[in-house]
Amino acid sequence: MAVYTDVSDAELAPFLEAFELGRALTFKGIAEGVENSNFFLRTERGSFILTLYEKRVREEDLPFFLGLLEHLSAKGMQCPLPVRARDGNAWRMLAGRPAALMTFLSGLSPKRPDVQQCGELGAALARLHLAGADYKLARPNALSVAGWKPLVKSCEAKANGVHMGLSTLIVTEMRWLEQHWPAGLPAGVIHADLFPDNVFFMEGKLSGLIDFYFACNDAYAYDVAVCLNAWCFEGDGAFNITKGRALLSTYRSVRPLSSAE
């Protein structure tokens, strides 16, 4: 939740000259985004988000991410649209990092989503799955079973220091997941990180989805599961079945679930 790489006014000016956006009127680092450095930029042509990609986003994945945003925007999804520079490129180097300019989305992220917002989310998630179905590029999910194994290995030794018995629990669960992880579910492009802070609302209506830097190809059910977990549990850990039903029913009204799902 910070700006990892600072951009000086002297670096910003030549960067901006590569675009047709006029001069910078405002430039402020934003205290959000865990992976990258983000800045609010207002120019003579409008408001934008400037993202500097830090270590966890690989430059070779940028064509997938930025192309996906263009693909989804063209299909009417409310997501940031990369602004291409005069040379046609969707990103260029700035302060030693790959950097992209995106259109700015209005709206506020909910801290505690209500039932109506869960319903809005479900429909948007299903529309996202349908809109991404014919996207040409592909990217494996780095945070599925294979990716969790090294994470388990790195946590195993310290886990009992957090809570006695946690280490065994993690290792046992990992083994169970490896044996039971479902195969053959309907799959395609998923967001994979659709927590409430990545969704904007205006007057209860969903106004934007952001932060597609975990997007990948995997089972649609993975996305649905992330959303049920991130949107439908209360502060005390209880599952709110009303929220869960709202999310699933609007999802299914847009994209029916198969019996396996």
Q: How many CA atoms does the CB half-sphere of 79 hold within 13 Å?
A: 29
Of 18, 75, 92, 107, the one binding its own copies by CB under 8 A: 107
- Write each residue from 63 to 92 as x if it is in contact with its own copies (CB under 8 A), else as -, in one continuous string: ------------------------------
259 binding its own copies? (CB under 8 A): no
- Write each residue from 194 to 233 as x if it is in contact with its own copies (CB under 8 A), else as -, in one continuous string: -------xxx------------------------------
34 binding its own copies? (CB under 8 A): no
- Between CA 208 and CA 142 the distance in angstroms is 25
Nearest CA-CA partner of 15 in 66, 51, 54, 46: 51
158 binding its own copies? (CB under 8 A): no
Dihedral, 101, 99, 55, 139 alpha carbons, nearest 10: 60
Query: Residue 31 CB, nearest distance to its own copies (Å)?
Result: 4
- Between CA 24 and CA 26 the distance in angstroms is 6
1 binding its own copies? (CB under 8 A): yes
Of 5, 18, 27, 186, the one binding its own copies by CB under 8 A: 27
Nearest CA-CA partner of 68 in 129, 121, 141, 16: 129
Query: Counting beta carbons within 10 angstroms of the beta carbon of residue 112, is it exposed (0 to 12), middle (13 to 18) or buried (19 or more)?
Result: exposed
Query: Residue 42 CB, nearest distance to its own copies (Å)?
Result: 7
44 binding its own copies? (CB under 8 A): no
Residues 6+ apart with CB under 8 A from 244: 118, 228, 232
Residues found near its own copies in the complex (CB under 8 A): 1-3, 8-10, 12, 23-32, 40, 42, 104, 106-112, 201-203
